Structure 1
Amino acid sequence: MRRTVFDDDHEVFRATVRDVFAREVVPVFPEWEKAGAAPRDFYRLLGKLGVLGVRIPEEYGGGGQDSYKFNAVVNEEMSRAKLGLGPIRVHTDIVLPYLLKYADDEQKRRWLPGVADGRLMTAIAMTEPGTGSDLAGITATAVRDGDHWILNGAKTFITGAVNADLVLVVARTSAPPPGNRRAGLSILVVETSSPGFTVGRNLEKIGLKAQDTAELAFDDVRVPMENLLGEEGRAFEYLGHNLAQERLSIAVNAQAAAAAAVELTVEYVAERNVFGKPLSGFQNTKFVLAECATEVEAGQALVDRALEAHDAGELSGADAAKVKLFCTELQSRVVDKCLQLHGGYGYVLEYPIARMYADARVTRIYGGTSEVMKSIVAKSIGL
């Protein structure tokens, strides 16, 4: 079905993004997977092309666009090219909105030009080894010492940490009052060159091999007072403002990955011969791919509706949860069926469907698990 959410400007931007991924990334992506991260120069290239700063105001070196659809184009093209490059999405879809909304004028002048051109790559550090989704249980602490905060603690599962120059760290800056564990949390922007800041091991994952995901440690890290983002003690409130976009971002990626899996598998079954005829000639193959294509179409309609709602400022947290829940579960079902049609070759990593299968599993976990999404939706309908 014809999509109507993108205009000519989006499609011109798409052509640029598609070209750079095909030319600069796809041929060398296996090497990045072995290295466990994309090279730093790649992000400078994206910055030079305007990919990273498209939504940053022109006065800070960005493209000055308000529409999230440009970000969606990047996510779709990453999935279309079968690339797991989560640090891009973290940088543009998750971290940047906090800087745009809560940074003061001086902070914006200091950080946004580098964020736009790739000189300052970012990450966000919320999750701790013992807290998981329970952000109110954060134990990292920051105490005042003159004109600095002294930061101590540890974080884990931090996407983009290996290449990051700035990390938004959520830490407890004051004890919470009885009955309100969410109070007393603040966001500190930590420069990764700071003494006492350590990037631990790049975690070995079952998928997303080129997406660096690391542990972080803070040992008496001195963070200047002027690196407090927004007001002290309001981090939990701030974190909630961007959850809809974060979850929509994951849904866009998952939906596009499902579509790419179907396209890839249609090509495969047309070329693969079994029992003397193409695999595509068997009724089971046709029926399975027909089911997948129909599910993908339904997911696309939901994503496109959410994109329109988000640009209009109308996408609620509950609706974003619905989109993430539906599309990530859809991705897992579709990729699994497509792998099955590949037979034994689907289990071999040199075939893209195998990597797509491994990459798909985490989308039902990060950004809020499917179970958390169901709880949010249930609450929204009065349960």
Structure 2
Amino acid sequence: MDFDLTKEQEMIRKEVRTFAQKEIAPVAAELDESETFSSELTRKMGEIGLFGMFVSEDYDGQAMDYISYIIAVEEIARVDGSQAATVAAGNSLGIGPLYYFGNDEQKKKYLPKLCRGEALWGFGLTEPTAGSDAGGSKTTAVKDGDDWVINGSKIFITNAACEMTLGVTVQAVTGKREDGRPEYTCFIVEAGTKGFKAVPMHKKMMWRASSTAELYFDDVRVPHENILGKQGDGFHQMLQTLDGGRLSIGAMGLGGAQGAFEAALKYAKQREQFGQPISKFQANAFKLADCAMEIECARNLLYKACWLKSHKRPYEKEAAMGKLYCSELMGRVADHAVQIHGGYGLMKDYGVERFYRDQKLLDIGEGTSEVQRIVISRHIGC
């Protein structure tokens, strides 16, 4: 067993950490406060290769292994959840389905711009009444000659309503299977298509500087060649996409936990009470020790899941475990960080309150914590 990262992976961690500290950290609080999605910052992340990291060079990707991609997300999340969300969703949910299921023509048309960070792509699954129950989607697509006509809506879709959005992948019901269950198919819908509207969502508690949208499809007509993969493969495509996406959500939890821990440790060493740094008090020292231990456990669990994926081995159970553990870990660490900061931890001048807010979505997105426990329990035979 070899727990060492490769030289390339170590270099990626160093370069992304430097970028995050230099480019993201100085503006993160301001962007969060104003709920501003930064195209400039997103393009900078594209320039250093943070999009299309696992995509082959044929489509202007970086052709890296999945652990390298997860390390990059982790390091961005260590500084800011909003920018990490842009990268994670841009890769796992935007680029991923097009790369894994698209035909060569579709890949050549869309992937180069997305991999260079010149544009973003959304992943339309969640609906107002269909979240964890992805099979409850009500958006429909009806064949009309050589076209498909899409009607319905989606909600909470990342990267889908900003000036960089090139289009979205949308799952729709296209009929019934032989067993009577709905047939799902994924379609490519470009921004600007008649009848398609993307509306930015504001007043969010978390990820306030990322792009979140409601999508509306009103007799949206797309050609048959806009089907992603094959008709009827949509549900399988979405499940496979979510498996990979869970790894990136896990990376956001791991990176956020690391950032909150480092902030708490630094503050505890500087803040004095009763004539000594508060890090010397056992109550705080034990909190920090627990954080350090759990972060180490989380990193090993998540990296193993990524290793399995990179080696084309089954990883669904480990992805669910990694997503669940890392997400909930960040909640525990952020809570300890705020407590160690005391009253200052509740103020926006200190970054730990942003970690505290940003964490909550990790318990919900890419399958709730409850759903992850269902997935794990099924894999262990319950």
**Offset at residue 12 of structure 1 (A):** 2.3
Is the contact between residue 143 and residue 173 of structure 1 (CA under 8 Å) also seen in structure 2?
yes
Give the aligned partner of residue 111 of structure 1: 110
Note the 1:261-340 alignment, pairs <5 A: 261-340=260-339
In structure 2, the CA distance between the partners of 1:9 and 1:147, relative to structure 1 (3 Å rule), is same
Report the RMSD for the aligned CA atoms in angstroms: 1.9
Give the aligned partner of residue 52 of structure 1: 51
In structure 2, the CA distance between the partners of 1:201 and 1:92, relative to structure 1 (3 Å rule), is closer
Give the aligned partner of residue 28 of structure 1: 27
Give the aligned partner of residue 353 of structure 1: 352
Pick the aligned partner of 1:68 from 66, 69, 82: 66
**Offset at residue 24 of structure 1 (A):** 2.4
Give the aligned partner of residue 89 of structure 1: 88
Per the normalisation by structure 1, the TM-score is 0.93
In structure 1, how many angstroms separate the alpha carbons of the residues matched to 2:133 and 2:82? Answer: 26
Note the 1:372-383 alignment, pairs <5 A: 372-383=371-382
**Offset at residue 83 of structure 1 (A):** 3.8
Give the aligned partner of residue 77 of structure 1: 75
Describe the superposition over 1:335-354 as per-residue Cα deviations: whole angstroms up to 9, x where unpaired: 11121111111111221111
Give the aligned partner of residue 124 of structure 1: 123
In structure 2, the CA distance between the partners of 1:129 and 1:342, relative to structure 1 (3 Å rule), is same
In structure 2, the CA distance between the partners of 1:62 and 1:291, relative to structure 1 (3 Å rule), is closer
**Offset at residue 124 of structure 1 (A):** 0.2
Is the contact between residue 167 and residue 188 of structure 2 (CA under 8 Å) also seen in structure 1?
yes
- What's the secondary structure of 2:82's corresponding residue? coil
Residue type at the aligned position of 1:129: P
In structure 2, the CA distance between the partners of 1:125 and 1:58, relative to structure 1 (3 Å rule), is same
User: Bigger CA drift: 214-223 or 273-282?
Assistant: 273-282
User: Bigger CA drift: 373-382 or 305-314?
Assistant: 305-314
In structure 2, how many angstroms separate the alpha carbons of the residues matched to 1:42 and 1:223? Answer: 32
Gaps of at least 5 residues in structure 2 are none
**Offset at residue 5 of structure 1 (A):** 4.8
Describe the superposition over 1:214-252 as per-residue Cα deviations: whole angstroms up to 9, x where unpaired: 211111112222211000111011122233321121112
- What's the secondary structure of 1:155's corresponding residue? strand
In structure 1, how many angstroms separate the alpha carbons of the residues matched to 2:380 and 2:93? Answer: 27
Give the aligned partner of residue 362 of structure 2: 363
Residue type at the aligned position of 1:351: Y
Give the aligned partner of residue 170 of structure 1: 171
**Offset at residue 30 of structure 1 (A):** 2.7
- What's the secondary structure of 1:304's corresponding residue? helix
State how many pairs are aligned. Answer: 378
User: Bigger CA drift: 11-20 or 259-268?
Assistant: 11-20
**Offset at residue 121 of structure 1 (A):** 0.9
**Offset at residue 149 of structure 1 (A):** 1.6
**Offset at residue 372 of structure 1 (A):** 0.8
Is the contact between residue 36 and residue 212 of structure 1 (CA under 8 Å) also seen in structure 2?
no
In structure 2, the CA distance between the partners of 1:229 and 1:83, relative to structure 1 (3 Å rule), is same
Give the aligned partner of residue 225 of structure 1: 224
Runs of 4 or more consecutive aligned structure 1 residues displaced over 3 Å after TM superposition:
175-179
Note the 1:167-206 alignment, pairs <5 A: 167-177=168-178, 179-181=180-182, 184-206=183-205
Is the contact between residue 141 and residue 173 of structure 1 (CA under 8 Å) also seen in structure 2?
yes
**Offset at residue 333 of structure 1 (A):** 1.3
Structure 2 residue 101 is the aligned partner of structure 1 residue 102: yes
**Offset at residue 271 of structure 1 (A):** 0.9
In structure 2, the CA distance between the partners of 1:37 and 1:185, relative to structure 1 (3 Å rule), is farther
In structure 2, how many angstroms separate the alpha carbons of the residues matched to 1:190 and 1:269? Answer: 50
**Offset at residue 267 of structure 1 (A):** 0.5
Residue type at the aligned position of 1:195: K
- What's the secondary structure of 2:215's corresponding residue? strand
In structure 2, how many angstroms separate the alpha carbons of the residues matched to 1:199 and 1:272? Answer: 47
**Offset at residue 179 of structure 1 (A):** 4.1
Residue type at the aligned position of 2:322: V
Is the contact between residue 94 and residue 120 of structure 2 (CA under 8 Å) also seen in structure 1?
no
In structure 2, how many angstroms separate the alpha carbons of the residues matched to 1:5 and 1:245? Answer: 23
Is the contact between residue 78 and residue 257 of structure 2 (CA under 8 Å) also seen in structure 1?
no
Residue type at the aligned position of 2:368: T
In structure 2, how many angstroms separate the alpha carbons of the residues matched to 1:375 and 1:83? Answer: 26
- What's the secondary structure of 1:229's corresponding residue? coil
In structure 1, how many angstroms separate the alpha carbons of the residues matched to 2:295 and 2:46? Answer: 32
Is the contact between residue 173 and residue 186 of structure 1 (CA under 8 Å) also seen in structure 2?
yes
Is the contact between residue 148 and residue 223 of structure 2 (CA under 8 Å) also seen in structure 1?
yes
In structure 2, the CA distance between the partners of 1:64 and 1:277, relative to structure 1 (3 Å rule), is closer
In structure 1, how many angstroms separate the alpha carbons of the residues matched to 2:328 and 2:236? Answer: 28
- What's the secondary structure of 2:168's corresponding residue? strand
Residue type at the aligned position of 2:77: S
Residue type at the aligned position of 1:329: E
- What's the secondary structure of 1:165's corresponding residue? strand
**Offset at residue 369 of structure 1 (A):** 0.9
Gaps of at least 5 residues in structure 1 are none
